[in-house]
Amino acid sequence: VCDNLVMPAASIRARVRAEMIDEIKSVARRHLASDGANLSLRAVARDMGMVSSALYRYFPSRDDLLTALIVDGYNALGAAVEAGDATVADRTDGRARWYAAGRAIRAWALARPAEYALLFGSPVPGYQAPQDTVLAARRTPLVLLQIAALATRPAHPVSPPAALTRDLTGVVDALAEVLPATDLDPGRMALGSIAWIHLFGAVSFELFGQLNNVVEARDEYFDLQLGLLADLLGL
Amino acid sequence: VCDNLVMPAASIRARVRAEMIDEIKSVARRHLASDGANLSLRAVARDMGMVSSALYRYFPSRDDLLTALIVDGYNALGAAVEAGDATVADRTDGRARWYAAGRAIRAWALARPAEYALLFGSPVPGYQAPQDTVLAARRTPLVLLQIAALATRPAHPVSPPAALTRDLTGVVDALAEVLPATDLDPGRMALGSIAWIHLFGAVSFELFGQLNNVVEARDEYFDLQLGLLADLLGL
DNA sequence: TGTACATCAGTGAACGCGCGTTCACTGATGTAC
DNA sequence: TGTACATCAGTGAACGCGCGTTCACTGATGTAC
């Protein structure tokens, strides 16, 4: 409020612009929920009481809006998982943190199914995700890998083939700045990434409707899977 | 060829009709590959050299065509998995059969990514799958459950909660006619279904592009996951 | 402090295209006597 | 076997709607002297 008076006029315009961008994205997110990934610029503009061409002041094309939504989505999910993980007081209790993080993923997905589908569902036809998204995309698995590194008990014995170890080492190295103490041997790296994939499987299977008419006790089912994966990791 | 002469005329018309339906579905499948699930009736008609309204002689609406494609897809996948499983000569070798079935799923998905996405990807906006699809959908997990029933070693210890056991028992009972000797205790039922879900996760993760820029050794990665799941099942 | 100029947000019309579905119709194919 | 009728496949026009993107434009807001 008071800031307005101190700020130079240029910043006001910049801030209004930023707020507009936020509102466009938020309206677009609402549309994702009903229309899936065939997001319509005109519908978004309509909802905002603007003419469709006005949106081009903010996003050079529909794909750029989609990209912004995807990056935001990955970050929102990552933040939710980090927050879930952070609720565990004892930072050395890997198993508790694993449950907290896993449940946070599922809770986020159930709360925003369309956004989850945009991130993890079938690729949008004709849309090519730019490089900007990959950093944000790694935020969630990063949390899970950090938890996997806490494993105390011996993990499930695995001997990943050399080619795979090379791939995974590359990823972990790229994360080294963010994840300093990577005391993950190849086996644990492989297990950690696999646990993430299988977790994704559990969430997607439920969210994409494959559990319909089959399993109703979904919380319990998910927790059971979390437990199996924790065992797998040696947490 | 000769059959034409013997067959009553009415059957000829019926057969031409069946062939037309097949061709429509096959053209539609090709379109799925490029356009994702926003399948266009007009585009299909164009490819067949027909006027779009002519398709209504064969399918009452676009959704009915989609449903037919979905049912066909589930059946094709199921058949591929059954064929994969059948290549293992020693029918008591559960672990070999598990690998064969799992690899068949992935191979089918990689060969027909758009169809896989239609079955297992984000739900098509506005489309409600009718009950016709559920039977076909169970064909693949049925094979996997039959293999899980072969487990000789003790499986990973699990104690599924009562509500979940009830759900899974219901499903297995429904399959009882097809799967006669269901010597699956609740724990193994739960493990079998979870292994299927995690397998789905592995395939979807790769197919939906989440492995891009991360893992290149995909065959090895998948096999590693198959092995972990086989261990989980006690195969 | 006041004025001339540049920047920027938003308008409205248009381009060129797509879609699912309906409907009255023409001809060919099959059926019944 | 031949003829009258019914069935069915496919046409072409139309309805009513959607879309992304471009472009010349009006006014308001911010900047520099």
Question: pLDDT tens digits for A31-85?
Answer: 998 888 889 999 999 999 999 999 999 999 999 999 999 999 999 999 999 999 9
For residue B140, what pLDDT is reported?
97
Residues of chain A in contact with residue B199, where contact means CB-CB under 8 angstroms, are: 201
Does A154 lie at the interface with B, CB-CB under 8 angstroms? no
Separation of CA A56 and C1' D24 in angstroms? 16
Amino acid at B53: S
Mean pLDDT of B176-205: 87
Nucleotides of D under 7 A from a protein CB: 8-14, 18-24, 29-31
Q: Give the predicted TM-score (pTM) of the model.
A: 0.94
pLDDT for residue A102:
98
Q: Are B122 and A208 in contact (CB under 8 A)?
A: yes
SS (H, E, C) chain B: CCHHHHCCHHHHHHHHHHHHHHHHHHHHHHHHHHHCCCCCHHHHHHHCCCCHHHHHHCCCCHHHHHHHHHHHHHHHHHHHHHHHHHCCCCCCCHHHHHHHHHHHHHHHHHHCHHHHHHHHCCCCCCCCCCCHHHHHHCHHHHHHHHHHCCCCCCCCCCCCCHHHHHHHHHHHHHCCCCCCCCCCCHHHHHHHHHHHHHHHHHHHHHHCCCCCCCCCCHHHHHHHHHHHHHHHHCC
A234 sits in the region (left: phi over 0; alpha: psi -120 to 50; else beta) called: left
Tell me which chain B residue has its CA closest to the CA of residue A159: B224
Quick check: A123 contacting B, CB < 8 Å? yes
DSSP secondary structure code for residue A50 in this structure:
S
Average pLDDT rounded to a whole number, residues A21-31: 97
From the alpha carbon of A54, which nucleotide's C1' atom is closest?
C10
Question: How close A202 comes to chain B (CA, Å)?
Answer: 6
Token duo for residue B231: 């261990």
Taking an 8 Å cut-off on Cβ atoms, the answer to whether A205 and B205 are in contact is no
Cβ–Cβ < 8 Å for A235, A150:
yes
Closest-approach nucleotide to residue A35, Cα vs C1': D18
pLDDT in tens, A211-231: 998 999 999 999 999 999 999
Find out whether A35 and A43 touch, Cβ atoms under 8 Å: yes
Q: What is the mean pLDDT of residues B133-153?
A: 92
Instruction: Name the residue among A119, A131, A177, A172 with its Cα closest to residue A149.
Output: A172
Protein residue closest to C31, using CA and C1': B10
Look at the block and give the residue holding tokens 């809006």: A65
Q: Answer whether B36 sits within 8 Å of A224, measured CB to CB.
A: no
* C-alpha A53, offset from chain centre: 31
Q: Taking CB atoms and an 8 Å cutoff, what residues of chain A touch B125?
A: 34-36, 38
Share of chain B above pLDDT 70, in %: 94
List the B44 CA – D12 C1' distance (angstroms). 18
pLDDT category at B126 given cuts 50, 70, 90 is: confident
Size of interface A-B (CB pairs under 8 A): 153
Task: Using an 8 Å CB-CB cutoff, list chain A residues near B224.
Answer: 158, 160-161, 164, 190, 194
Interchain contact, A205 vs B199, CB within 8 Å: no
**DSSP for residue A123:** P
Question: Residues 55-114, chain B: which have Cβ within 8 Å of A?
Answer: none
Of A142, A152, A151, A69, nearest to A101 by C-alpha is: A142
Over the range A106-118, which residues count as b (16 or more CB within 10 Å of their CB) and which as e? bebbeebbbbbbb
A41 Cβ contacts chain D strand, under 7 Å = yes
Interval B25-70: pLDDT, tens: 999 999 998 888 889 999 999 999 999 999 999 999 999 999 999 9
Place of tokens 């029918």: B91
Cα distance from A172 to chain B (closest Cα, Å)?
A: 10
- Length B9 CA → C7 C1' (Å): 77
**What is the reported pLDDT for B179?**
67
Q: What is the pLDDT of residues B66-106, one digit of tens each?
A: 999 999 999 999 999 999 999 999 999 999 999 999 999 99
* Distance separating alpha carbons of residues B24 and B54, to the nearest angstrom: 11
- Segment A186-196 shows an average pLDDT of 94
For chain B, say whether A230 makes contact (Cβ under 8 Å): no
Closest by CA to B223, choosing from B200, B201, B202, B192, is B202
